[in-house]
Amino acid sequence: MIKAVFLDLWDTLIYSEPGPIETYTRMELESITKTLSRVKNIDIDRVARAYRVLVEYRGVIKPGVYAKLLASLLGFNPNDPLLEEVAVEYEFGAVQYTPRVVEGARELLEYIKNKGLKTALVTNTHFSSSTLRIILGNAGLSRYIDVIVSSADYEVLKPHPRIFEIAMNALGVKPFEAIHIGDSCSRDVLGAYVSGIKPILYARRSESIRACEEIPGLTIIYSLREAIPVLEKILGE
């Protein structure tokens, strides 16, 4: 019996932003630049250059630690008390950001909620779960999500089974009691499949279908609205 639905975030519920520095990242960098510039002549471009050096690690390092690493690249002593403030400014610098919601996401989440199913957001992101809760609230989605499992909080990325295990433990469900919906073959489908969770591929890109075509019994949807009849069938309705 299915008791929980796990969901990916980026490009499943909300859209990713193109470009090397997204709107929310610029907000974060502007926030810490303002703090650092109180004691050192520094501008957003210098902070952005330091950010690019570390960008590949931001999803597996806690936000506060990441901010301190970034400040260290800019010549600040990692033991400087100012960096504690910088860490907070970085973590919550984007709380005013309102993401664009993927078509059909609200309807799907409303359906899941009305069925009494638990929900967990399982996401590779540099945001902490606390910040994500606020950002999702800005888009009107937070009330639908019971648990947020952020890779940055736990320093582990999908498709590692551990991040799915954390979500299962948080909701108190077994693998056969959960479904995971996401747009990535490698991160979402494989991660869930290896964890014993039934995956549903939200096929936004044809390469995801090709990459996962040999996974037995994989369910593929092409819009989030298609997820509702799939769930109805799984729930035996």
Contact, 219 vs 201, CB < 8 A? yes
User: Mean pLDDT throughout 116-139?
Assistant: 98
**Per-residue pLDDT tens digits for 105-123:** 999 999 999 999 999 999 9
The residue from 57, 92, 127 where one domain ends is 92
Q: Same domain for 117 and 162?
A: yes
Task: Provide the pLDDT confidence category of residue 237 given band limits of 50, 70 and 90.
Answer: low
CA 65/CA 135 separation, integer angstroms: 21
Instruction: For residue 7, list its beta bridge partners.
Output: 121, 181
**Per-residue pLDDT tens digits for 12-67:** 999 999 888 999 999 999 999 999 999 999 999 999 999 999 999 999 999 999 99
CA 193/CA 178 separation, integer angstroms: 11
- Output the pLDDT for position 205: 84
Q: Same domain for 79 and 118?
A: no
Q: Same domain for 193 and 222?
A: yes
Total domain count for the chain? 2
Q: Same domain for 32 and 107?
A: no
Q: Same domain for 169 and 108?
A: yes
Q: Same domain for 50 and 111?
A: no
CA 119/CA 130 separation, integer angstroms: 16
**Per-residue pLDDT tens digits for 55-64:** 999 999 999 9
For 88, the domain range is 23-92
The residue from 92, 111, 137 where one domain ends is 92
- Output the pLDDT for position 19: 82
Question: Going edge to edge, which strands form the sheet with 178-182?
Answer: 147-150, 118-123, 4-7, 178-182, 198-202, 219-221
User: Mean pLDDT throughout 113-141?
Assistant: 98
Q: Same domain for 111 and 219?
A: yes
